[in-house]
Structure 1
Amino acid sequence: MTVIKFFFEFFYNYCILKFTCGWIAIKNLINFENYNGRSLESIAYFVLHCFLFSCISVLTKYAMQSGLSIVQILLFQTGTACVALFLFNRKNLMPFPKKKSILAHVTRAFFWLVATALFFMSLDKISLPSATALSFSTPLFTIILAIVILKEVMRKYYYMALSLGFFGMLIIVQPASDSFQTQSFMVIGACILWSITDIIIKRMGIISDMIKITWYFSLFSFLMLLPFVVSTWVTPTFTQLCVMLLIGVFFIFNMLTLTYAYSIGTLTVIQPFAFMSLVFTSVMAYIAFGEIIKFPTIVGSIIIITSTSFIAYQERKRHKEWLAYRIGEEIL
């Protein structure tokens, strides 16, 4: 029960007692007058998503260190999400999706499961802050795949931004140093697979009714894991069971907060706050596992987030210019 007690104490001390001081500090750093109410709301949901993602990462690493397999952890995670979403929203979960949509859901679930398994299996050798920093590169791979698969236009600023982002990855991985870990490639592989799930979502064109989409995603993930859990099953202790159920609850809110943040805000506003994942993870990993974030990890993650934020800014600027051009044409 120690780890559960830690999370409740952390949430109380860090998020409630220090909320007032933290809000004043953030308000001094960021000029919130530049943001409207919807933008601030999207930022709040995105920061909450970052906190929940960090909780899931730390709890999953703890569960794996306690002797549970990643397959069993993911089974409980997706199973908890399935049951909870069905109980709270069962009237709106039907009808079942069509065959073409089912294939997309299954494909997305498969790539997500493999990516998530790779990410957490790498934590045996890599620290959580380093793995989290590398995960920021997912949007870079999404852009490349969008150009290759969706035939999107390769714009001039992509070259500079992508080069800058991959340079940030090299700083984090440090392939020429003695501290280089080959497991870093597992995290990079996970990022590539996560980017494939982003492309699948984009091709499906699913924006509304995200609770239903999250339920289908959790259901198909759970069903795919069932055949593999037999060979890796370990009867969990009460503490392990509570941890896995807690991961499942955090997983639900993590998916919903991220989806809602993107639905009411823009990437230009949200993307710079991705760094909060590294802040939360670094604090939790230090308290739970004694892991200390390295300076190259901080520098590399800042470079990656800067590159992805720059792309988001340029895309928003281009979209505004296109709208202005279309409006001008209609007036003329």
Structure 2
Amino acid sequence: MPEQHPMRGIVLMSASLLLFSCLDAITKHLLQTYSVPLVIWARYTVHWLLMLFILGPSMGLRLLDARRPGLMLLRSLCLLATSGCGVAAFSQMPLAETSAIIYIAPVMVALLAGPMLGEKVHRHHWLAMGIGFCGMLLIAHPGGQVTPTGILLAVGAAAFFSLYQILTRKLSLTENLWALVFHPALTGSLLMSLSLPLIWPDTLPPWPDLLQLGAIGGIAVLGYAVQTRAFRHAPVSQLVPLGYSQLIWSTLLGWLVFNHLPDGPAIIGIALIAVGGLVVIRSQRTKA
């Protein structure tokens, strides 16, 4: 058992969330020039190639281990659908509002864990869902910076991510940790490569754009690695609530990079979604 250093874990977790927010910002910037499928392909391809380069020599074929291949494939497809809906939503809406809607996923997981995992759904889970729904209504208020299509895409991303997390819970009991990270990246890259002849631009992207396309995969790997290290130094109950600080980073980056700040109702809506998620996290800590 690694020695616990809670403050180190908190710092690492915060750094990983900043990395993921930067990933979203670079993705949104690239979407001003390139298609959604191309950006997703670049992210997944660089992701699995880096894992193969870093872990391949030591793990070899163990990266492909799958005791339950059907569920592993379904989980990978859920994450690919999450990326597709989420990236498409970022192409239509600001960072902060899109990130906030996607962050209703923890509440969805708490509700889906009942029928899918046999876990008890408590009243405060429904309360949290109600709070989060009210937050979504405020973000979607008339005159805001969101679109109906963008909202549907963000909700779709949250729904698919919820299914992905449920499947992760089931598979984490039987599957290798790094195989769980490697399979979705490889599956996503292979499937998106089928569309590459149709989505690749007529001319080679300039070097700054190629670096950014590569960076989104690299940042994803680095973010997961830093976050995994954080959980070695501090309990999950201390680190999971920090996840909602990513909404702060998304808001700041949306302002600094895209010159957008949410208006008053949207800020209240973002806060309500965070509160709903924290209610679920608090109840899980109490139960544990």
TM-score of the two chains, using structure 1 as the length reference: 0.77
Indicate whether 1:48 and 2:15 are aligned: yes
Structure 1 residues 193-272: aligned runs within 5 Å = 193-206=160-173, 210-234=177-201, 235-262=204-231, 265-272=234-241
Greater RCO (CA < 8 Å, at least 6 residues apart): 2
State the percentage of identical aligned residues.
16
Contact 1:50–1:274 under 8 Å retained in 2? yes
1:290 corresponds in structure 2 to 259
Query: Are residue 147 (structure 1) and residue 114 (structure 2) matched?
Result: yes
Q: How far, CA to CA, are the matches of 1:294 and 1:262 in structure 2?
A: 35
Rg larger in structure: 1
1:193–1:310: structure 2 CA closer, same or farther, 3 Å change rule?
same
Corresponding residue of 2:51: 85
The answer for the alignment partner of 1:280 in structure 2 is 249
Displacement of 1:42 in angstroms is 3.0
Shift in alpha-carbon separation, 1:136–1:82, aligned structure 2, 3 A: same
Q: Retained in 1: the 8 A contact 2:13–2:242?
A: yes
CA deviation after TM superposition for structure 1 residue 241, in Å:
0.6
C-alpha contact 2:4 2:232 (8 A) present in aligned 1: no
The match for 2:270 among 283, 294, 301 is: 301
Cα gap change, 1:96 to 1:37, in 2 (>3 Å): closer
Map 1:45-194 → 2, pairs under 5 A = 45-66=12-33, 68-90=34-56, 91-95=58-62, 97=64, 100-174=67-141, 177-179=142-144, 181-182=147-148, 183-194=150-161
* Alignment gaps of 5+ in structure 2: none
Contact residue 146 and residue 199 of structure 1 kept, 8 A: yes
Between 118-127 and 98-107, report the one with greater CA deviation: 98-107
Shift of 1:106: 2.0
CA contact (8 A) 1:274 1:305 kept: no
TM-superposed CA distance for 1:188, in Å, is 0.8
Root-mean-square deviation over aligned CA pairs: 2.4
Q: Distance in 1 between matches of 2:163 and 2:230?
A: 21
